């Protein structure tokens, strides 16, 4: 079975802190994604990566950066956390072919106080 | 439709009832439509991927249909069980790697 793991299920940080969310997948997938999910809204894409050291902005990249130094690991960085970044963060990976089905991690619920 | 929409936002059904909900998506440049089930405290799990107009997929008591010309997909659950309680997400893909997700339909099946 594909496994996508995220470093924390729950995280509480203070405004202004630098926050790292880690995601690891074990299926050698080329593509990895970071989403956030807020009540009443769909999953919104923050960043994605289709290869090591490659990254593309999603729909809401402001306030975030990412790092992909190894194929299996994709990190989301909040350079200076703000209260409006309180959310559920989901990581996903997918193969490039054939169906692009995404496999999700369990999510990290981040609270910024 | 610019975004992916789902209706209803939530619903409650009795165990044994059949139910269905809708996903609406932009029909232009359509490539694929995905359905996911997201149970509380678990990861979203893929249910179906559909690409062709008229596609029908089935997994146990759950089935889905696709109309790419008018831009909608239906998800049906026959004889709902409490373990079907979850949020059901649909996502449209236009090609490339990106998905656009709907806000989800939260289903509660009451015993």
Mean of the per-residue pLDDT values for chain A?
92
Instruction: Give the C-alpha separation, B67 to B50, whole Å.
Output: 10
Beta carbon pairs, A and B, within 8 Å: 57
The answer to whether the beta carbons of residues B33 and B95 sit under 8 Å apart is no
Instruction: Give the C-alpha separation, B89 to A99, whole Å.
Output: 17
Chain B: residues touching A (Cβ < 8 Å): 3-4, 9, 32, 34, 36, 41-46, 49, 89, 91, 93, 97-104
Subunit contact B99:A48, Cβ cutoff 8 A: no
Question: B32-72, pLDDT tens digit by residue?
Answer: 999 999 998 889 999 999 999 999 999 999 999 999 999 99
Does A101 lie at the interface with B, CB-CB under 8 angstroms?
yes
pLDDT score of B2: 61
Mean of the per-residue pLDDT values for chain B?
92
Q: Which residues of B touch A43 (CB under 8 A)?
A: 89, 91, 99, 101
- Minimal C-alpha gap between A40 and chain B (Å): 6
The answer to whether the beta carbons of residues B88 and B76 sit under 8 Å apart is no
Question: A50-105, pLDDT tens digit by residue?
Answer: 999 899 999 899 999 999 999 999 999 999 999 999 999 999 999 887 667 889 99
Task: Compute CA distances A15 → A21, A39, A80, whole Å.
Answer: 16, 21, 7
> Which of A91, A63, A67, A68 shows the shortest CA–CA distance to A78?
A63
Choose the mutation target among A42, A68, A97 for the interface with B, i.e. most B CBs under 10 Å: A42
The answer to whether the beta carbons of residues A4 and A25 sit under 8 Å apart is yes
């Amino acid at each position: 079975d594909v496994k996508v793991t995220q470093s924390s299920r729950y995280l509480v940080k203070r405004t202004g802190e630098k926050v790292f969310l880690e995601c690891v997948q074990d299926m050698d997938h080329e593509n990895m994604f970071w989403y956030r999910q807020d009540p009443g809204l769909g999953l919104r894409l923050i960043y994605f990566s289709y290869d090591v050291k490659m990254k593309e902005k999603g729909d809401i990249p402001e306030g975030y950066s990412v790092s992909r130094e190894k194929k299996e690991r994709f990190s989301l960085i909040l350079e200076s956390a703000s209260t409006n970044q309180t959310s559920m963060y989901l990581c996903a990976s997918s193969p490039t072919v054939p169906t692009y089905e995404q496999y999700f991690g369990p999510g990290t619920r981040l609270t910024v106080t | 439709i610019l975004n992916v929409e789902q209706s209803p936002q939530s619903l409650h059904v009795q165990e044994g009832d059949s139910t269905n909900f809708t996903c609406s998506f932009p029909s232009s440049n359509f490539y694929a439509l995905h359905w996911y089930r997201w149970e509380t405290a678990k990861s979203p799990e893929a249910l179906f991927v559909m690409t062709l107009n008229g596609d029908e997929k089935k997994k146990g008591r759950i089935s889905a249909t696709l109309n790419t010309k008018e831009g909608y997909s239906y998800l049906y659950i026959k004889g709902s069980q409490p373990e079907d309680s979850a949020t059901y997400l649909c996502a449209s893909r236009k090609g490339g790697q990106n998905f656009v997700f709907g806000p989800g339909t939260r289903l509660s099946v009451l015993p």
